[in-house]
Amino acid sequence: MFDTILIVALSALSVALVLLFIRVMIGPSTQDRILALDAIGVLLVGFIGILMILQDTSVFSDIVLVLTILGFVGTLTLSKFLERGVVIDRDD
């Protein structure tokens, strides 16, 4: 029973990921796409979390951390680049 519910949850998350991918495809502005990609990163963290319960292993916890940080840094640099044309401003 427990496993079944988890598998259903995984399928629901997959559907959510597909919906986000549609937004990445059609998004009228680039910021829409960044937003959807950011949400995909966050949802992937949840996906891996459920996999950890399902497979009863904690080896994925490093991956969760790295994915969180990389998703954040990616979103930040992309939006900063779009705003100013540079990622690191030199003048203060």
Q: List residues near another protein by CB under 8 A.
A: 2, 5-6, 9, 12-13, 15-17, 19-20, 22-23, 29-32, 34-36, 38-39, 42-43, 45-46, 49-50, 52-53, 58, 61-62, 64-65, 68-69, 71-72, 75-76, 79-80, 82-83
* Contact (CB, 8 A) for 20 and 36: yes
Closest CA to 37 of 61, 73, 83, 6: 73
- Please, what is the minimum distance in Å from the beta carbon of residue 6 to another protein? 7
Nearer to another protein, 18 or 90 (CB): 18
DSSP 59-75: TTHHHHHHHHHHHHHHH
